[in-house]
Amino acid sequence: MEEENIVFKNPQGFFTYRVAAIILKDNNLLMAKHEDYPCYYTVGGKVRVNETSEETIIREVYEETGIEFQVNKLCFIQERFFQVKGQAHHEIVFYYLMKYKSNTHLPYRSFTDQGTKESLHWLPVESLDETDIIPEFFKTKLLININSIEHIVSKE
């Protein structure tokens, strides 16, 4: 039996529990982009019932990149509030810094498990402030050394 994602809907809107990966290589950040959306976003996905956030990020990164990673450390916890088509959304997102499972750095496939509409891109960290990305806090937070877990609240 497939586990259910942790997503709730009520008359006020939606709640989602998600995880996202921070994958860095040669001062570039791996991000995904769907051809129907203007912005880049993190590799990751929804946590399932009875699945830890670490199990989820390992599964999601493998599904989307085809490469096995392991968790380096939890860096950010974000409470994100935003609107989509007039509907309120509230997300809790855990952002994990990932590292390769082995010393082999395999090339990434250019498309995710979502098919040819969603592609993977390496973005230079120093140019993120000029790029349309979600989460926006990556534009500044990835330029500094991450020494502890930071809690971020964003109302978009």
User: pLDDT category, 1, cuts 50, 70, 90?
Assistant: very low
User: pLDDT category, 17, cuts 50, 70, 90?
Assistant: very high
State the pLDDT at residue 115.
61
Mean pLDDT in the chain? 90
Return the CATH number of 7-155, one of 3.40.190.10, 3.40.50.2300, 2.170.120.12, 3.90.79.10: 3.90.79.10
Q: Where are the domains of the chain?
A: 7-155
Mean pLDDT value of segment 13-34: 95
In contact, 132 and 156? CB cutoff 8 Å: no
Tens digits of residue pLDDT in 72-114 = 999 999 999 999 999 999 999 999 999 987 765 555 557 665 6
DSSP 12-46: TEEEEEEEEEE-EETTEEEEEEETTSSSEE-SEEE
Helix and strand numbers (H, E) in the chain are 2, 11
Taking 3-state DSSP, the helix, strand and coil percentages for the chain, each rounded to the nearest 5, stand at 15, 50, 35
Contacts of 114 (CB under 8 A, 6+ apart): 34, 64
β-bridge pairing 150-155 and 69-84: parallel
User: pLDDT category, 2, cuts 50, 70, 90?
Assistant: low
User: pLDDT category, 66, cuts 50, 70, 90?
Assistant: confident
Mean pLDDT value of segment 24-51: 94
State the pLDDT at residue 106.
52
* Predicted model pTM: 0.91
Torsional sign, CA 148, 24, 134, 95: negative
